[in-house]
Amino acid sequence: MSAVISVKDVWKEYDDKVVLEQISLEIAPRAFVALVGPSGCGKTTFLRMLLSEEAPTRGAITIGGAPLPAEPGADRGVVFQRYSVFPHLTVLGNVVLGLEFKDAPILGRLFGAKRRAAEDEARELLAAVGLGEAENKYPAQLSGGMQQRLALAQALIAKPKVLLLDEPFGALDPGIRAEIHTLMRKLWHERPLTVVMVTHDLSEAFSLGTRVIAFERRRNEPSDGGRYGATITRDFEVWPKRIAGEPRPQKKKLMPGRDDPAPSGSLRDDPAIEGAAL
């Protein structure tokens, strides 16, 4: 199956500072890619390139075989750790807005029957994310977990092919985070979505991701003066699980010779992938 997202030898530099170098990556349809790495290694920058908020300095990114559009669009939804939703709009208004951006990009408003249809669709999605009772509330009246449920609904209403998540659950308490993980898994199972999620949490990465990718700098000395960017140093297939009796696939070691600590954290709690090859 051809990749949804194809990244070919991408570099990103700001002035003379190299942030990312030689990033090549093929992401299969329906993959849930978790992107991990030390703070400042360029994870968000990479996500912003997938969103078309930043352009690569060198290299090419294609989506569905075509060059990435120059502007963010309805084909790619995004949720950030905070501030993904509009505080002055109700819960329902925030989700309808996702459709308005898609269907009325110039006016940014839908009217009459189209608006009513958009509201019905938004209500259905709000029910699916557990916010069926909250449509008239404003974001400030919601807990952090509810706000992120709303942000997911807002991102998903336009039926994006690709969902980009930048530490979407990083600010939530552990209990709330576990609940929203369950929701995230459900949303991803039910929709034809390819997900790329940046996270600091390895256990979250291996619990949700079908594939976990690590970015790291090859060299990171102050004296290097920003001449080395981060690149992909680990690429773990978490799922589909290995079929009993088949040889364990080799881990892709992109930087042989380095220390290679096993990742901590549990695998997805889906029994179907118990025993996934790490």
Ligand X SMILES: Nc1ncnc2c1ncn2[C@@H]1O[C@H](COP(=O)(O)OP(=O)(O)OP(=O)(O)O)[C@@H](O)[C@H]1O
Give the interface with ligand X as residue ranges (CB under 6 A).
14, 19, 37, 39-45
Provide the minimum distance between the beta carbon of 175 and ligand X in the complex, in angstroms, as a whole number.
24
Asked whether 165 and 195 are in contact (CB, 8 A), the reply is yes
Asked whether 212 and 263 are in contact (CB, 8 A), the reply is yes
Closest to ligand X by CB, 36 vs 146, is: 36
Closest to ligand X by CB, 42 vs 98, is: 42
Closest to ligand X by CB, 39 vs 250, is: 39
Closest to ligand X by CB, 19 vs 129, is: 19
Provide the minimum distance between the beta carbon of 55 and ligand X in the complex, in angstroms, as a whole number.
12
DSSP-assigned beta bridge partners for residue 194: 162
Mapped onto helix, strand or coil, the DSSP state of residue 50 is helix
Provide the minimum distance between the beta carbon of 163 and ligand X in the complex, in angstroms, as a whole number.
17
Provide the minimum distance between the beta carbon of 43 and ligand X in the complex, in angstroms, as a whole number.
4
Residue 119's H or E segment, with its range, is helix 112-128
Closest to ligand X by CB, 64 vs 226, is: 226
Asked whether 61 and 7 are in contact (CB, 8 A), the reply is yes
To which residue do tokens 């009513």 refer? 116
Provide the minimum distance between the beta carbon of 219 and ligand X in the complex, in angstroms, as a whole number.
15
To which residue do tokens 């892709």 refer? 252
Asked whether 191 and 153 are in contact (CB, 8 A), the reply is no
Pick the closest to residue 74 from 92, 56, 52 (CA basis).
52
Taking the CA atoms of residue 54, residue 55, residue 59 and residue 61 in that order, the dihedral angle to the nearest 10 degrees is 70
